[in-house]
Copies of this chain bind each other. A is one copy, B any other.
Amino acid sequence: MTTSTPPTETSDIPALCRALADQAQSASQSLCTVPGRVRDGALRKIADQLLASADALKQANALDLAAGKDNGLSGAMLDRLKLDDKRIGSMADAVRQVADQPDPVGRVLEGRVLPNGIQLQKVRVPIGVVLIIFESRPNVTSDAAALCLKSGNAVILRGGKEAVHSNRAIATCVQAGLKEAGIDEHTVQLVPTIDRAAVGELLHMQGLIDVCIPRGGESLIRTVVEQSHIPVIKHYTGNCHVYVDAKCDDRMAVDICVNAKTQRTGVCNAAETVLIHKDAADRGLLKKIGQALVEKGTEIRGCDRTCKELPDAKPATEDDWHEEYLDMIVAVRVVDSLDQAVGHINRYGSKHTDAIVTSRLDAADAFVKRVDTANAFVNCSTRFSDGGVYGLGAEIGISTDKLHARGPMGADDLTTYKWVAYGSGQTR
């Protein structure tokens, strides 16, 4: 197969978006009765298509890379954009892994026979039509399509303009897979224009689109939330914390702080602030952790005591406690108690991922219960909050919302439920 020719840009954006939403709604309604094995079969065919189309994908990607260079994208951005055989292989693997997961649709969450004989069940069903708005990395196209198809939803994908050719080529593979499996191709639609007006139009299609999931920087998400008339599942910043408790394994504390901060800085589950109990600081752990971070090339913004003990540290301002650096910078603060640590995290954190390093069982329990966060970790790095690590297959994002879905979101989180009752003529 060959890459499809990019569809003609249209000037009638409202009509285009209305057609996309109508087609998605109709595809969603027919998908309700498509069995899991057919959806999984389509996923495997999509994986095959991706591998078989590696050359076409790389050619399309080359156009994006060339345009990216012309437009002065950074090396890191170009790297995120790039598709090679290894990455195409990973995309196909991710789709296959999603196919291998249990089917969320139709799962009975609870059920009972009511006293009047009615058989009541709470059953997982697809949400309906999902809108995904994302930036740069083209693998989101196949990941999101796979998770939506797995969970029985139709999806409208709106990718970033820098990956437009790559996304179109991937969508072509997805649609070929759907067609082979006999599933309505409108189940997965890529918005065929890069005109920004399309986003605004789609976000007003309540009644046709059930939920929007934006993936990207905070400003993208804020813009979507402001414009949307559709419920949005948000993935804001990851201002993650490591709290080093009074009693802990010192070696473990150093390792976890260094790993959480420096192993990969540009990701949402990297730590941004280290909080250290004063007793731990008193026995030299502040110095040890600080030095280990500085040796890795990390800049430290510290509280008064931190600045006193670590000559390289700069004084932290109020802004530093709020900041998601996504860089080799860390805020460090000595706290008087677990209470103060919890208070700090609940005040400044972004409810993403927060860890305690402790050897005290009661401290671990109190931290886990009291920190208002999607991912509460004991004695391990914040870097583990990830749908893949959690065994969810691919992830559609990491929700910092508290309603519907929280933390890494997989196919289950793209479902809702309905109450189904079978009676034999009961009236009230």
Q: Is the CB of A370 within 8 A of B418?
A: no
Question: Considering the chains assembled together, what is the distance between the CA atoms of A255 and B424 in angstroms?
Answer: 11
Which of B120, B256, B366 is in CB contact (< 8 Å) with A427? B256
Q: If A428-B259, A428-B383 touch, does A417 touch B406 (CB 8 Å cutoff)?
A: yes
Please give the distance in Å from A380's CB to the nearest CB on chain B: 3
Q: Is the CB of B372 within 8 A of A128?
A: yes
Question: Is A136 interfacial (CB 8 A cutoff)?
Answer: no
Which of B211, B369, B374 is in CB contact (< 8 Å) with A419? B374
Q: Which residues of B contact A424 (CB under 8 A)?
A: 379-380
Please give the distance in Å from A41's CB to the nearest CB on chain B: 19
Chain A positions 252 through 268: 1 when the CB is less than 8 Å from some CB of chain B, otherwise 0: 10011011100100000
In the complex formed, the residue of B with least CB distance to A391 is: B112
Q: Is the CB of A380 within 8 A of B118?
A: yes
Q: Is the CB of B380 within 8 A of A128?
A: no
In the complex formed, the residue of B with least CB distance to A231 is: B403
Q: Is the CB of A403 within 8 A of B428?
A: no
Please give the distance in Å from A407's CB to the nearest CB on chain B: 5
Q: Is the CB of A384 within 8 A of B421?
A: yes
Q: Which residues of B contact A364 (CB under 8 A)?
A: 422
**Of residues 226 to 258 in A, which have CB atoms within 8 Å of B's CB atoms?**
231, 233, 249, 251-252, 255-256, 258
Chain A positions 186 through 222: 1 when the CB is less than 8 Å from some CB of chain B, otherwise 0: 0000000000000000000000001100000000000
Question: Is A341 interfacial (CB 8 A cutoff)?
Answer: no
Q: Which residues of B contact A256 (CB under 8 A)?
A: 425, 427
Please give the distance in Å from A39's CB to the nearest CB on chain B: 14
Q: If A231-B401, A263-B428 touch, does A421 touch B380 (CB 8 Å cutoff)?
A: yes
Q: If A376-B418, A378-B421, A427-B381 touch, does A369 touch B33 (CB 8 Å cutoff)?
A: yes
In the complex formed, the residue of B with least CB distance to A255 is: B427
Q: Is the CB of A403 within 8 A of B211?
A: yes
Question: Is A29 interfacial (CB 8 A cutoff)?
Answer: yes
In the complex formed, the residue of B with least CB distance to A368 is: B420
Q: Which residues of B contact A71 (CB under 8 A)?
A: none
Q: Is the CB of B378 within 8 A of A422?
A: yes
Q: Is the CB of A421 within 8 A of B375?
A: yes
Q: Is the CB of A373 within 8 A of B418?
A: yes
Question: Is A154 interfacial (CB 8 A cutoff)?
Answer: no
Question: Is A114 interfacial (CB 8 A cutoff)?
Answer: yes
Chain A positions 377 through 405: 1 when the CB is less than 8 Å from some CB of chain B, otherwise 0: 11111011100011100000000011110
Which of B114, B263, B375 is in CB contact (< 8 Å) with A391? B114
Q: Is the CB of B425 within 8 A of A249?
A: yes
Q: If A29-B370, A112-B391, A418-B373 touch, does A384 touch B211 (CB 8 Å cutoff)?
A: no
Q: Which residues of B contact A404 (CB under 8 A)?
A: 403-404
Q: Which residues of B contact A401 (CB under 8 A)?
A: 231
Question: Considering the chains assembled together, what is the distance between the CA atoms of A190 and B267 in angstroms?
Answer: 42
Q: Is the CB of A252 within 8 A of B375?
A: no
Question: Considering the chains assembled together, what is the distance between the CA atoms of A252 and B260 in angstroms?
Answer: 64
Q: Is the CB of A384 within 8 A of B426?
A: yes
Please give the distance in Å from A6's CB to the nearest CB on chain B: 33
Q: Which residues of B contact A32 (CB under 8 A)?
A: 369-370
Q: Which residues of B contact A384 (CB under 8 A)?
A: 114, 116, 118, 421, 423, 426, 428
Q: Is the CB of A378 within 8 A of B419?
A: no
Q: Which residues of B contact A389 (CB under 8 A)?
A: 114
List 20 A-B residue pairs with CB atoms under 8 Å apart, sorted by A's residue number: A29-B372, A116-B384, A127-B402, A211-B402, A252-B425, A259-B427, A373-B418, A375-B419, A376-B419, A377-B421, A378-B420, A378-B423, A379-B426, A380-B422, A380-B423, A380-B425, A381-B428, A384-B423, A406-B417, A406-B418
* Chain A to chain B: the 4 pairs with minimum beta-carbon distance, closest first: A380-B423, A259-B427, A383-B428, A252-B425
